[in-house]
Chains A and B, each alone.
Chain A
């Protein structure tokens, strides 16, 4: 099977031509990309969550708390994401070539950052409780932040996908990675969690909701493909519940002091971020479509300025 492209002509078997393939039924509309599926989305899910976990682990190291479970969880999360990428690519046994273009490719930069990140994680675990372990944890936290930044830039560099190219996706990707990681960190270390983590998670949830609403609003304002906007808008209830319900649960735990409530809040916060990212990568990723600014002049006819199907005129 081939993935991705496509074509609009009726002779093209791989495209998203409409049934019947009549000539008049084909056109330049934006359509869903098929190059990256849920496996690629898992890289953003695992990488973002893992980076968030390692940021919390760095904070724990500074506070003198045991962070080994968080580092191991971060390691597993990031490894899961990278393994899914390994499954996604067409020639996985050439993966070493990934490191060849640090000059401009954020995917290469992500891969390069992953190497010292793994070393830092390993040192952090092997020297847990020692000074070198603390240093390694801090190093891992800084590198995890860089890893998360690279992931954000990977999405933004895709000029063919307006929903990813939009500038408002960048802060959302950063904040949701941190939120997911902190939420899982609370679940993992619920009995010994630092007291500051709960209000920080609540703050991050509010920020994440705000960035998401801004992204959804700006995407439509800036004329992204209608189908992309609709997919993002469909997540409105989901994001409201996924961000506000954990806050409500965290507030409830303040009175009730039941650990299970914190765990539930953390799981909801993390899962809502994962689902949103999965939708952004696999469902809201419409291409730009083809643009025909003017019709050609033929015979006695006149040229007309035209918009673009799937886009509004202001795109």
Chain B
């Protein structure tokens, strides 16, 4: 089996939003839509205050609540574990967005561009009418991953088979790969670090891991 997951090393993330920009460039999302976001969080009370950058987006859950509630089967899970949307089936009811505990979904009812209602030439060239009025979210750049695999490349290792946000990350905070493959970058990484998954108690089996420390053995 294959289970694509993403790992975000919170120790490394500097909150530069390059992943966000790369995602927007790769997927031509409209202003206000960020499939890959980085939250800038203040934690604690003075004087014990920390600043944490938290990359978020669709967690490509193993048990996706969005897929469960979707009345149209537009949201579906692939055999590789990624959760995708068939924009031709979606009716834009928004139910999936309410079922998602990660606030990862967007619905744009009317296109607005960087400078108003008229698109710039580059925006017009890449505008996708099919994404208006329906749910949209991070795809793990699955078209890139599929194309890379077809060329014999390994997702998470070769940039041509890896999501744009991971390729763009300046600090190496984001890693992508097949968690069921013990030799994948994510499996090797997760084996030697302390990590958590967000809202795990909701039974969603999220495919997004957050690293917060080394494993204790490595500290000794």
User: Which residue numbers of A lie inside 8 Å of B, CB to CB?
Assistant: 1-9, 11-15, 23-24, 26-28, 33, 35-36, 40, 85, 88-92, 94-95, 97-101, 104-108, 111, 154, 157-161, 164, 285, 287-288, 290-298, 301, 303-304, 306
Query: Do most interface residues of chain A lie in helix, strand or loop, or is the interface mixed?
Result: loop
Contact B107 A4 (CB under 8 A): yes
The 4 closest A-B pairs by CB, nearest first: A90-B92, A90-B133, A14-B32, A35-B94
Contact A160 B65 (CB under 8 A): yes
Contact of B31 among A13, A24, A287, A297 (CB under 8 A): A13
Contact A12 B34 (CB under 8 A): yes
Task: Name the residue of chain A whose CB is nearest to the CB of B202.
Answer: A159
Contact B39 A33 (CB under 8 A): no
Q: How far is the CA of A83 from the CA of B16 in the complex (A)?
A: 45
Contact of B109 among A2, A33, A106 (CB under 8 A): A2
On chain B, the residues within 8 Å of A23 by CB distance are: 15, 40
Contact B41 A91 (CB under 8 A): no
A16 to chain B minimum Cβ distance, whole angstroms, is 11
On chain B, the residues within 8 Å of A35 by CB distance are: 94, 97-98, 107
Cβ-based interface call for B89 (8 A): yes
On chain B, the residues within 8 Å of A292 by CB distance are: 41, 43, 52, 54, 198
Contact B65 A159 (CB under 8 A): yes
Q: In the complex where A158-B99, A304-B43 touch, is A11 in contact with B17 (Cβ < 8 A)?
A: yes
On chain A, the residues within 8 Å of B70 by CB distance are: 101, 105
A258 to chain B minimum Cβ distance, whole angstroms, is 45
- Give 28 CB contacts A-B under 8 Å: A1-B110, A2-B32, A3-B109, A8-B37, A11-B34, A13-B31, A24-B42, A28-B39, A33-B97, A33-B98, A90-B107, A90-B109, A90-B133, A98-B71, A98-B91, A99-B71, A100-B71, A105-B69, A111-B71, A157-B65, A159-B65, A160-B100, A288-B199, A290-B54, A296-B10, A296-B211, A296-B212, A297-B11
Q: How far is the CA of A287 from the CA of B99 in the complex (A)?
A: 10
Contact of A306 among B34, B44, B91 (CB under 8 A): B44
17 new A-B contacts, CB < 8 A, other than A104-B67, A160-B65, A288-B199, are A1-B112, A12-B37, A13-B32, A23-B15, A24-B42, A28-B41, A28-B54, A90-B92, A94-B91, A105-B69, A105-B70, A158-B95, A159-B204, A164-B98, A296-B9, A296-B211, A298-B11
Contact B69 A3 (CB under 8 A): no
Contact B71 A5 (CB under 8 A): no
A39 to chain B minimum Cβ distance, whole angstroms, is 11
A-contact 0/1 string along B71-108, CB 8 Å cutoff: 11110000000000000011111110111111111111
Contact B71 A288 (CB under 8 A): no
Q: In the complex where A9-B37, A159-B99 touch, is A294 in contact with B94 (Cβ < 8 A)?
A: no
A-contact 0/1 string along B1-44, CB 8 Å cutoff: 00000000111000101001000000000111110011111111
Contact B40 A105 (CB under 8 A): no
A-contact 0/1 string along B188-220, CB 8 Å cutoff: 000000001011001010000001111000000
Interface centre among A5, A7, A101, A106 (most CB of B within 10 A): A5
Q: How far is the CA of A303 from the CA of B11 in the complex (A)?
A: 10
Cβ-based interface call for B175 (8 A): no
Task: Name the residue of chain A whose CB is nearest to the CB of B13.
Answer: A296
Q: How far is the CA of A27 from the CA of B53 in the complex (A)?
A: 10
Cβ-based interface call for B161 (8 A): no
A119 to chain B minimum Cβ distance, whole angstroms, is 21
Cβ-based interface call for B122 (8 A): no
